Structure 1
Amino acid sequence: MIELRAPGIEAAVVPLGARLARLRTPDRAGTSADVVLGLDSDDYRGDRARLGATIGRYANRIAGGTFEIDGNRYSVPTNQDGAALHGGPHGFDQQIFDADPVRTLPGGGRSVTFRRTSPDGENGFPGNLEVAVTYTVRTGAVDIEHTARTDRPTVVNLTNHSYFNLTGRGGSTDGHLVHIPAAHYLPVDHRLIPTGEIAPVDGTPFDLREGGHLGTRTRRDHPQLLRARGFDHTMVLDGPPSGMRLAARVDEPGSGRTLTVLTDQPGFQLYTGNALDGSIVTRGGRTVRQGDAFCIEPQHFPDSPNRPGFPSTVLRPGELYRSRITFRLGVLG
């Protein structure tokens, strides 16, 4: 485990899955606690929930596990309802990354880069893909940068899969207040594959532009929420990506902690831990159930390789894939 510290924040990362394993930040009284789910051990082999992991080669779902590039058809093993989820079986979350030496930043903070080459044909994806994941911890924030280069045309969509609970003590996240400045979302079919529609949030539980409590929203009688058993949908950020922009802000009134997420990606997956069923024992011997944590996963859209109307996720030789995420932690004023 590699520890990274800066004023107001303590993080730990591990090479297996290049994952964020711990993130401690103070509440309004100055008491620090962990706000992400993790294990007591550094051994995340077999972690079904992908706690804090780097997700790849393709985050989220590819329908049928198949896609086409330049007339060539590729097949990825499926692992959920006939879809390839998070890169298929044995994705990046279960791969060991090499860690560069930790760097100390001017003015405080620390940074580390994990590297791995995903070989041509791994899980069915074409091209040797050189991947780097850099975690930078600075005052009150964690920056995550993913980069990748390929020697053959391929598809790439990387993200971080941290589960947050800002109470710092576990239990339900129903009382978390979420603000999302997104006017559209992606409806899904019964397999949780986007239908291709980019739908307005107006008049739906997905309209979080003025804020809403997670517990109140997930219990709305809406066909999309019933289908996914909560939120498991892409929120579409407004306008073309142009540098870092606000994806979401989450406030936890009890502790006073806040989480602000920024990204340069076109959207993010809002996930309310619907598959958590009490079978995973997290740090401190806590079991977690549906609604005990949430994920905000900045990324490209699911099934983009099969959706010409979605932003392209094709990476070609000579191009640089880059994705940036900032998790900014604070307290309510």
Structure 2
Amino acid sequence: MNTPTIAIVGAGLGGLALARVLHVNGVDSVVYEREPSRDARGQGGMLDIHSGQRALREAGLIDAFFAIARGEGQDMRLLQPDGTLLLQEDTPDDAPLARPEVDRADLRDLLLDSLPEGTVRWGHAFTSAEGGRVRFADGGSAPYDLLVGADGARSRVRPLVTDVRPRHIGQNVVEIGIPDIDATHPDLAAMVGRGTYWVLGDGISLGAQRNGDGRVRIGISFYRTGEDWFATSGIPFDDPPAARARLIELLPGWDPRVTALVAACDDAIVPRSISTLPVGLTWPSRPDVTLLGDAAHLMPPVGEGANMALLDGAALGRALAAHPDDVPTAVAEYEREMFERSSAAARMSTDLQEMLMAPDAAQRMLAFFQPG
């Protein structure tokens, strides 16, 4: 039996889950990451990990995951822009961790620390692959029998299997935040609560979420907007105080307690345009290249992406461990399962996205959370 050389591009959750499940099953792999180190940049906010727990269990990490997960992060408050509270869900302290929140950086560190030293090669930016060798921006190269694109929304590996590109979906998000909210703004901290504070209006939503480090991350989404909306929005991103003032102007009629969250934010203001891949995207199976996570099925950001990436990594690792001497069979088996599972998740995510974009978004989401 020949042991295949498995090259994983991208040290995100999916790529690391794959490497971990392979390691648990005695199969070696190498993860190539463009960032120079694990701490080179921030990893984002909290994640709602539900179905992805199956992957962490298969990776032998479920107990360690529960140790870092925040059960209180399951709390939710849903409001209208005028401040009307539509729904409040408070999680009992002894409730099961069905959908706990976890800091993305903490989860990534858990996966990184579970791998043998040297599995992740930092500072290796993928540029191309051919003839069984992957090539990097620094001129280096490495062999592979299987190349796995786990390199996210802007995947550079994706063009090896499909010409399809992500498309803007009419949503633009401004990310802001309040550091150490309990100490700096205790009144706002009490209003937000322990989990997610969600305000839904006509074409605009504001989501505030507790992070494990005491920061509240806030995303203001502007729906039914074009890809060039930031250029015409009048938000001066190079002037944070003026940018905060302009964001408040873009929330006319909103309860002052809600806009106070915007006024209290620090100077970290990040614009993000939201794109997705088509629901049900597939490609003819190749024996030496495949994709996982956002590289394979970029979805609206409604809570499924990280879970799908973890499940992808576990599924591909399981298939490769079951067919270590037959990589093409393993890839085809993985892709059949992944296409079906991720398509269902993408359809559900798209339905939720359409609810958020509707004029009566708040009432639709209330019915979603409280059916009947």
- Normalized against structure 1, the TM-score is what? 0.30
When Rg is computed on C-alpha atoms for both structures, the one with the higher figure is 2
Structure possessing the higher relative contact order (Cα contacts under 8 Å, 6 or more residues apart): 2
- Normalized against structure 2, the TM-score is what? 0.28
Q: Which has the higher strand share?
A: 1
